[in-house]
Structure 1
């Protein structure tokens, strides 16, 4: 029997995401900038390849479905476009290059699961610097990031990680090395969430 497709996010249940961790040099730079400016995103700096979602699949079945979907997914490059702001958030926008969009679409095919309004055609890849920015401070914060240039203009995503958020805590559940990635090179940023079970 096929599990029913969830129709809405149930705030009492955990949220899953599939993320790429930035390289250590970019992770460290973003964390230091956050500390300097007194801001934060949600958890460690990360690029969501699949927005937070819920699924009736249990963890082993979800890991198996993601492993099958990602079996032939090659490593891909992410290029940083620059700073962007929306109400309540300031982030480093990434170029929506075809390999990145293909990976996003591939991950959307894994389910059944809920979808966010900013999945699919509305997907905007980014690394969040500040979340929950109040309107009175938004212009000051925006001015403060102008001229702040990341230490890299692009990075290669060699692995994706399944994470789960529950009660404000983010747990890494599984890491999926991508085809062509050097298995010896870990995908985790220095000081990041640590090694995930394989």
Structure 2
């Protein structure tokens, strides 16, 4: 005799096993820090103007990238890649304004361009959209500038002259992005592997 409808056993649908999801790879950077005078001045301007950038002021040698290797292997690869890199000078330029972004452009000297091209050869970390012909060396002052604030900020920029016109880079740092900050992982002193 068939069971009444309310008493029939209904198969419980199988709960699918949790699909393995890959965590997104962290974004790394290879950066140069500005001299302390310029760093302090940029931070003071950010505070005075009520703006922020992504982490502390830094000059990317290439656009942020993900790596196919472990962090330890990445450090080793970069150590080899930078072994013969000498300290270099960065010349500070003027302000560049893009929608939502303000930065202090640095001149793309032949030396800096050669270093940019060289660090793009890092295995397992191909060039990104803002590398190669799109590469503009810079120190970001502000990100996320809203259209209604742009004109006031632009008029402030006309009055701001950086305290230095150049600075020397004697080390590069591997960084990892996270939580709106840029965290230093390893420092590579320059000139140690040169004669």
Q: Give the TM-score range, shorter chain.
A: 0.7 to 0.9
Please point out which of 85, 91, 96 is paired with 2:97. 85
In the aligned structure 1, how far is the partner of 2:179 from the partner of 2:24?
A: 9
Alignment of 1:116-155 (within 5 A): 116-155=128-167
Aligned 8 A contact 1:19 1:48 in 2: yes
- Number of aligned residue pairs: 172
- Whole-Å separation in 2 of the counterparts to 1:158 and 1:180: 10
Larger radius of gyration: 2
Q: Report the CA distance between 1:139 and its aligned residue.
A: 1.5
Tell me what 2:178 maps to.
166
Distance 2:74 2:25 in 1: 15
Aligned to 2:80: 68
Task: Tell whether the 8 Å contact from 2:56 to 2:181 is kept in structure 1 after alignment.
Answer: no
- Whether contact under 8 Å (1:89, 1:133) holds in the other structure is yes
**TM-score, normalisation: structure 1:** 0.83
- In the other structure, the counterpart of 1:52 is 64
Deviations 1:110-168 (A, max 9, x none): 02114321101110000000111111211110111112111100001110000001333
The alignment partner of 1:65 has SS state of helix
Structure 2: gaps of 5 or more residues: 1-21
Structure-2 separation of matches of 1:129 and 1:166:
19
Alpha-carbon distance change, 108 to 11 in structure 1, aligned in 2, over 3 angstroms: farther
Please give the alpha-carbon distance, in whole angstroms, between the structure 1 residues aligned to 2:109 and 2:23. Answer: 32
CA distance in 2 between partners of 1:105 and 1:54 (Å): 17
2: CA distance, partners of 1:60 / 1:49: 20
Consecutive unaligned residues of structure 1, counting only runs of 5 or more, are 1-9, 182-198
Secondary structure at 1:121 match in 2: helix
TM superposition outliers: structure 1 runs of 4+ over 2 Å: 10-13, 166-170
Distance in 2, Cα, partners of 1:127 & 1:180: 26
TM-score by length of 2: 0.84
2:45 match: 33
Secondary structure in structure 1 of the residue aligned to 2:61: strand
Cα distance between partner residues in 1 of 2:168 and 2:25:
32
